[in-house]
Amino acid sequence: MARFYITTAIDYSNGDPHLGHAFEKIGADAIARYRRLAGDEVRFVIGMDENSQTILQPAAEAGLTPQAWVDRLAGVFADTWARLGISHDDFIRTTEPRHTRAVVEMVERIKQAGHIYRGTYEGYYCERCEAFKQEKDLVDGRCPEHPDREIAWTKEDNYFFKLSEFRDPLLKLLDDHPEFVQPTIRRNEIRNVLKEGLQDISMSRPHRIWGTPFPDDEEHAVYVWFDALINYLSAIGFPDDAYHEWWPADLHVIGKGITRFHCIMWPAMLMAADVELPRTVWAHGYINWEGRKLSKSAGAPVTLDSAVERYGPDPLRYFLLREIPWDGDGDFSWGRYDGIYNAELANDLGNLANRTLAMIHKYRDAVVPKGAGTPLDDRANAILDGYRSAMDSHLIHRGIAAAMELAGDANAYVEERAPWKQAKDESLAAELDTTLSALARALGRLAILLSPIMPVKMGELWRALGASDEPAGMAAYAALDLAGRQVDRQAVLFPKPE
Ligand SMILES: [Zn+2]
């Protein structure tokens, strides 16, 4: 059995989850669920980045200790992921002892190998990114990610990581393993950064009041990015040997704003510590509202709560993953959400399910009849190939499009076969069996293909087709046989809004 270790970026403990956080978790969850469906053994890890100095201010404003603050937020995030059906196997928090232990080990290994020295840093530091910025990266003298904030000139005594030594090995990595950074546009950006050359980076902050103490110098805190990246190792038990069970990671899912940390700093840290590199870093895009990054739009026109409440968690998962290409940016708008919900979920999919189940009920006493293979089955098998190649390439939006072709074909098949006419003529009984059994199989296959996207709704559909469990794995798809199953005319899957 193949193993698949997938992670998302861990979330900053300085504010509530928003739609951008949700998009990343939902996409990674769809990939994790797809891999399980394909038969892999999956480890899916998400978590919280709690060692940031930026939590101190909101914690103080809320009248909480830093630890009480991060505990509260970890609860809020965990509840949100449960509500959205995220199927993670672990939830790592960087304040946990298991994480601190891994950070200490990594710093020590890198130090032993001679890649750390002491020095003085002078330059711009964005408190919000928690990153030093070069002058050429600033826009109008400000951090491009945080244009509303002044950026401070900072001078401090630090430990440095010899990042500059890793420029050539990293360029070679991109040549030898183009799959290391995806999609391609992000790889090209990283290559350009590397070509300009790398500077050594500070890997500590002086005057620690919060964060992981620097080994052998507790006055300093480990630089928060250096600390946070190690969560991918600490979550699987590093430095105990057991971590080899899952390492190297197959896929780090992150947002396109943090590629430099994941595609330059992280592999350099691993090379320095002589730890294997992850296979792929996938950088997704942003959700925009009228062309602006949603999380930065003033007075958020759509909150995560309002988006979930509109039609429930599964339709939101479907809409985000279908509408925002997993390899780029996309727009959120209520009009578009309503349109997709009505056209694709309520009509194409929901209506197909409702009418098929109703006809099996009415014409065949609620039992799926036996029936030979049909052109609709041939189409379903061709669609599976397209779906798999899209999902194997992490192009979730294309996987959804492939699956929905099957819904379209099944709806055309209903019109073409007109089972309500076949039902009126006793001599067409075998034809009607063929029609209804083919439609039942199409629904079962849709439940399989779309279960990574809408796990709850597709579980309901699968059980309405007479099963007691969750949708079958990919292996059962081609020869799916539902004959003899007792269908349930359950509640409408995707009710039309009033
Ligand atoms: Zn910034």
Domain count, the chain: 2
| pTM tops 0.75 | yes
Residues 401 and 460 grouped into a single domain: yes
Task: Tokens 């750390």: give the residue.
Answer: 116
In sign, the C-alpha dihedral spanning 469, 454, 493, 485 is: negative
Q: Which helix (H) or strand (E) holds 33?
A: helix 19-37
| 192 domain residue, yes or no | yes
| 405 domain residue, yes or no | yes
| 315 domain residue, yes or no | no
Residues 209 and 340 grouped into a single domain: no
| 121 domain residue, yes or no | yes
Ligand 1 centroid – CA 153 distance (Å): 13
Ligand 1 centroid – CA 124 distance (Å): 10
Rounded CA-CA distance 165/265 in Å is: 11
Under 8 Å between Cβ of 58 and 101: no
Residues 386 and 252 grouped into a single domain: no
Residues 249 and 343 grouped into a single domain: no
* Ligand-binding site membership of 220 (annotated): no
Model pLDDT for residues 18-36, shown as the tens digit of each residue? 999 999 999 999 999 999 9
In sign, the C-alpha dihedral spanning 23, 27, 29, 33 is: positive
Q: Which helix (H) or strand (E) holds 232?
A: helix 231-234
Q: What angle do helix axes 313-323 and 455-464 make, rounded to 10 degrees?
A: 110
Using a CB cutoff of 5 Å, list residues around ligand 1, an ion. Answer: 126, 128-129, 143, 145-146
Residues 30 and 136 grouped into a single domain: yes
Residues 270 and 350 grouped into a single domain: no
Residues 254 and 360 grouped into a single domain: no
* Ligand-binding site membership of 177 (annotated): no
| 290 domain residue, yes or no | no
List, by residue number, the catalytic residues: 18, 21, 126, 129, 143, 146, 293, 296
Cα→Cα distances 188→52, 181, 194, 310, Å: 30, 9, 10, 38
pLDDT score of 297: 53
CATH number at residue 438: 1.10.730.10
HSE of 204 in the Cβ direction (CA atoms, 13 Å)? 27
Residues 349 and 280 grouped into a single domain: no
Return left, alpha or beta for 418; rule: phi > 0 is left, psi -120 to 50 is alpha, else beta.
left
* Ligand-binding site membership of 126 (annotated): yes
Ligand 1 centroid – CA 128 distance (Å): 5
Ligand 1 centroid – CA 259 distance (Å): 14
Ligand 1 centroid – CA 421 distance (Å): 65
Under 8 Å between Cβ of 2 and 41: yes
Ligand 1 centroid – CA 397 distance (Å): 30
Domain boundaries, position 350: 334-476
| 491 domain residue, yes or no | no
Ligand 1 centroid – CA 129 distance (Å): 4
Residues 106 and 197 grouped into a single domain: yes
* Ligand-binding site membership of 263 (annotated): no
Rounded CA-CA distance 282/369 in Å is: 45
Residues 135 and 252 grouped into a single domain: yes
The rounded Cα 188 to chain-centroid distance in angstroms is 22
Residues 270 and 339 grouped into a single domain: no
CATH number at residue 272: 3.40.50.620
pLDDT score of 295: 62
Under 8 Å between Cβ of 108 and 150: no
| 316 domain residue, yes or no | no
Under 8 Å between Cβ of 477 and 384: yes
| 49 domain residue, yes or no | yes
**Could you list the mean pLDDT of each consecutive 10-residue stretch along the chain, which spans 498 residues?**
95 92 98 98 98 92 96 98 98 98 98 96 86 87 89 90 98 98 97 96 89 94 96 98 98 97 98 98 92 65 92 98 96 95 98 96 97 97 98 98 98 98 97 98 98 98 94 95 91 86
